[in-house]
Structure 1
């Protein structure tokens, strides 16, 4: 990271008072106090929101176009004055990174910081915007009475390890300056609406990075200290630790680090779209790409956004997160003018599906941050804010799909049309890719009885409405190891609607031996 002039350092981070001394390597311990001017606090919050919006806009055209590969340096990605406004108007759905965050910010504004998880869950479930993967499964679960944390648990949500909460946790860190443990406690409440295990850890990690970006001006410190909130025994921790180590081993070659991450950590277990496929929406790998952007970016916004985007996969969300964290470190005023060109044109425009604009987000997160600081023992002191800085502590260990390994797939090449779909497999579980489609443009509801080994296991409602759909139509885990038969029986034909099944991912108790 480029060093700041002494005057700017003095402005951004006033004296840290540490009664009794600081922690290891000069880190503030749980008793440290950080004094920030209110102007700087506002500037950092503004920088986080603005840079997140810049990052997602830049990466938008590349999203999931580069799976299992990276974007070459010579391939141009557009950025110019007016591009932000064009994207706002032409592709408003790109900003799910932001407007889902703002759904939760709005809950806090209307119901207070103590709003229960169920209130956040209902706000997500009843929103008008499209959702995918873990978010859409959570919406389906909540609408049918399954409250968080059950709505995000892997037994009820096959997408539980996905990136969803990771791209929606920014608001938590931005309202928790210097309070990583307060941030992770809030992440426990909100993140388990849609995720658990590694999917939850993605949001915990991101929220902690934003929180620590108010305290530290070095990206590596922000990354490593945020990782202290993740249990060392988790797969997520191992993946991010490896990313940091790979940067140390290859400090000038992010592509070499990328190749090692691809070799060791690119497998997907839960998301059916990503099993036996190059597509990967898993939180771990995409968080690693965020860290690549931050570490190899070395505090430079252009380099950070470029690396996080060119690493591929969810390459709009990843630069949004990396840029947002760096934007919080730098503050709005120090984001280079190149990246802010055209930003003023959109800051007052509400994001689609919400009444909240970037200007509103700046104001609301500042308001909520002051309340979080007060609750954590800090205070306002004239034109300053005094924060009781927390030393990051790990959250509890939880891992999804333990003992479940993808071992086979069964192709389901036809749609059910009132008859049955049946398949057999050897293993302990399955998850089926498929969808229900309306052929006449009207909303329909198909009802399917699922039998496992001739015993009725579930009755599944499958709406054709895209905002109410069940993203993964059928699954079941933790079956006795052995031979099983699954039978799907459509109760009755629904003219104008079709259930299309693609394939079943089969899980075994042990990994399949590699074929030579």
Structure 2
């Protein structure tokens, strides 16, 4: 509709209402059970959630030195720093306009100003109301540009990239183009997408994934999916802790957020009475992120704090809010999410009276889109200056109706009939030491064309530039070693299935992330002066149950390359159509030949402004599709191309350097494109900055993660908590070494990661010991063994072991990290293909007197 006639309060949708954008995934089966949520209950819970979001910001203490650390006496709902009314004993007064959001001199007494914890949340509802339940990346870009969003960090960068450079999400949130990709915005600005998917956590997860990608990637988007799913779960529950437990399925099992979740749950189990103790333990567990300029805002410490608040809050609203408000770091964000969750669970009846009196004010309260005080978070242009809280809830309600219908449910004047969803974990293939936090290259193999005469040309490096945590893997070339490969074997793949291998990389030359011998993609980051990290991915079909992946620094000038956080996940394989560049309409370019081009030819020489390659794509239904453009860029800078559909420019796309002209390998830029049903003319036109050569374009729907239920094998006493401190842990056996003298070298003692106890291997004199158990009755399949471990180092051998899982199979091992006490690290043996129904697992070490290791929390899961 014309922009001047749009409304933010569309009429409530009913079952017969047309959906603007087609559903991208099939609706649930017709036979699925449904649940009914009355509109009155929905409005009550959603209003309480919105007030919780806002009230949490006005209550929480975002602090660092020299601000005093708030004590319990400082907790008073809506009287925190951002309200402008915090007690002087708890907060040093500050004239920054952000610390005056509630009834400040800038606003009337019944008004609350915008903040980044909720201003984009509310704006997202405009996008959904304008473009339907499956709004595309192009829709999001168009609305951000039209309204010139004011925001912090990654939001500012993403907005400038869309407005000034014409870029489109998800590129705007990627580390390669947004140095603040790691920050809080993806989750604090998109968690309330869960409010439009009550009982539909998979829908909430997918919406948060799409909208979160506007401003970030990596863990911040993982947390966004988790938070949105938790809100969606809460509508059909009466306990926020259960919503948390269910939503945890969105956390990939090979991810750091999942480790943080496990750690916080273990802390609560170990000491359920003292949240401040748990927070102190969490702060010793969290990781830094490369490029961070505000450690308070690192996602793992703040989301871990949210988990602490929810678990230790015991489902009591005020207790949960108090913990979240006083817990530190970005506590205003922590309190905002936690209070929003409690609002859904308890509704308006359980909402703190202060929120009702000072924010809602019986319906008279207003939300102010603050464009006047100089506080950054706001929405420009024709966005309303003031809205009532009830009107905002009506907008959420309308968008909820559209989501319910789009996902197979129905609506009427009094209720939503929802097809409830269950979220399942992504099917990931764990990689041992994928983040190199063991401090070594354990599990990885280095190859050079000849002997290395000097220092190693591949190391686990701790120099403050790891993408996350302390360590990255770095390879070097020099005069003696002109080429280096660093590889690992991925086990447990399903032959014929499709996978996506990904890693963060950095280089000052041209390196290649690869899968096997043919699937390679160039890594040449344009922000090399800042050693910025860039994610590279390769999609491949597994030809066997194993694959080699790694980093290759080929012959050339002396250079370095580094890799961190390697992942492999199974994905769907939607049908795609390939369009060869040499078969397209070409203006201002030249068709050339190359042995690395998919059809033997490619288009280069697109030197003139407005030179282009144009082709016609036919699709069966309208909606968002993916273009995978095979390209080469041997220039000195990023190349740019305008993407036009039916003669209308949608966006400008960047094409990073690949290191060589006319060499295509698997250099693919994946771009979203919105198409109409039938024939569409797509033009890729030089934008005037840099140059790009084309090989082909693949068009199809976006692949989706494959989700599968976990099958956890019960391991009695897997945490060594049965029987307390003992020499003989129940369910475990001890091999006392070849000379039989080390029966006393393993024992259970206090100080475990979970439950209070741990297994330790240690002796005053030399020892050799193996602590193990044999698990029987296993179904044939692929298993992952994991444990948490730490050690002092120095042993001749110290490793987690899996053996006896089939006839004639080799023992699989992974080293125990030398991290020192009490720095636990998760160690994993993935891809254990069990046949014959049994598996022996354990810990082995051999060392001199005084050396030690400890292990805890053994788990065995089947894919």
- Aligned residue number for residue 71 of structure 2: 72
8 Å Cα contact 1:427-1:483 kept in structure 2: no
1:71-108 Cα shifts (integer Å, max 9, x gaps): 43344567469967325947977611111112211111
Select the residue among 123, 128, 138 that pairs with 2:143.
Answer: 123
The CA distance in 2 between the partners of 1:68 and 1:403, in whole Å, is 36
What is the TM-score when the length of structure 1 is the normalising length? 0.69
The Cα shift of 1:249 comes to 1.6
Alpha-carbon distance in 2 for matches of 1:67, 1:483? 43
Alignment correspondent of 1:193: 214
Match of 1:441 in 2: none
Quote the RMSD (CA, aligned, Å). Answer: 3.9
342-351 vs 156-165, which deviates more? Answer: 342-351
Determine helix, strand or coil for the equivalent of 1:147: coil
1:477 matches 2:533: yes
CA contact (8 A) 1:102 1:361 kept: yes
Query: Which protein is richer in strand relative to its size?
Result: 2
Are 1:360 and 2:396 matched, yes or no?
Answer: no
State the Cα distance separating 1:171 from its structure 2 match: 2.8
Q: Deviations over 1:479-506 (max 9, x none)?
A: 9888679xxxxxxxxxxxxxxxxxxxxx
Q: Which moved more, 1:101-110 or 1:475-484?
A: 475-484
Tell me the TM-score normalized by structure 2: 0.42
Compare relative contact order (CA 8 Å, sep 6+) and give the higher one, 1 or 2: 1
Confirm or deny: 8 A CA contact 1:151 1:194 kept in the other structure.
Answer: yes
Whole-angstrom distance in 2 between the partners of 1:227 and 1:157: 27
Q: Does residue 349 of structure 2 align to residue 350 of structure 1?
A: no
Selected match of 1:377 from 384, 403, 408: 408
Specify every segment of 5 or more residues in structure 1 that has no aligned partner in the other structure, as ranges: 1-29, 411-425, 430-450, 461-471, 486-512
- Alpha carbons 1:67, 1:312 under 8 Å: kept: no
Question: Partner residue of 1:183?
Answer: 204
Kindly tell me: are residues 370 and 147 of structure 1, through their superposed partners in 2, closer, same or farther at Cα, counting changes over 3 Å?
A: same
Q: Trace 1:235-250 onto structure 2 (pairs within 5 A).
A: 235-250=256-271
- String of CA shifts for 1:421-462, please: whole Å, max 9, x gaps: xxxxx9689xxxxxxxxxxxxxxxxxxxxx9689xx8988xx
Query: For 1:164 and 1:88, how far apart are their aligned partners in 2?
Result: 28
Cα distance in structure 2, aligned partners of 1:342 and 1:119:
36
Post-superposition CA distance 1:124-166 (Å, at most 9, x none):
3554454223222322333323322222222333332321111
The DSSP-based 3-state class of the residue aligned with 2:368 is coil
Structure 2 residues without counterparts, runs of 5 or longer: 1-30, 86-100, 371-378, 438-459, 466-472, 477-506, 511-523, 535-550, 562-817, 821-863
- Counting only pairs closer than 5 Å after superposition, residues 399-414 of structure 1 correspond to structure 2 as 407-408=462-463
Q: Distance in 2 between matches of 1:88 and 1:183?
A: 37
- The 5 A counterparts of 1:224-303 are 224-265=245-286, 267-274=287-294, 279-303=295-319
CA contact (8 A) 2:186 2:224 kept: yes
Structure 1 CA distance for aligned equivalents of residues 243 and 235 of structure 2: 9
Larger radius of gyration: 2
What is the aligned partner in structure 2 of residue 315 from structure 1?
331
Partner of 2:62: 63
User: Counterparts in 2 of 1:389-408, with a 5 A limit?
Assistant: 389-395=420-426, 407-408=462-463
Equivalent residue number for residue 218 of structure 1? 239
**1:316 is paired with a residue of what secondary structure?**
helix
Among 154, 165, 174, which residue is 1:153 paired with? 174
- The CA distance in 1 between the partners of 2:105 and 2:250, in whole Å, is 35
- Where 2:293 maps in the other structure, the secondary structure is helix
What is the total number of aligned residue pairs between the two structures? 406
Give the SS at the match of 1:386.
strand
Distance (whole Å) between structure 2 residues aligned to residue 243 and residue 145 of structure 1: 42
Write out per-residue CA displacement over residues 142-201 of structure 1, whole angstroms, 9 at most, x where no aligned residue: 332332222222233333232111101233100000000111121222111112121111
Q: Residues 36 and 308 (structure 1 numbering): CA distance in 2 closer, same or farther, change over 3 Å?
A: same
Structure 2 distance, partners of 1:156, 1:328, is 36
CA apart distance, 1:406 = 8.2
The 1:175/1:397 distance shift into structure 2, 3 A limit, reads farther
Deviations 1:229-271 (A, max 9, x none): 2211111111112112211221111011111111111x21234
Tell me the residue number matched to 1:95. Answer: 115
Question: Deviation per CA, 1:398-435, whole angstroms, max 9, x where unpaired?
Answer: 99x9569884469xxxxxxxxxxxxxxx9689xxxxxx
Partner of 2:159: 139
> For the Cα contact (< 8 Å) 1:173–1:209, is it kept in 2?
yes
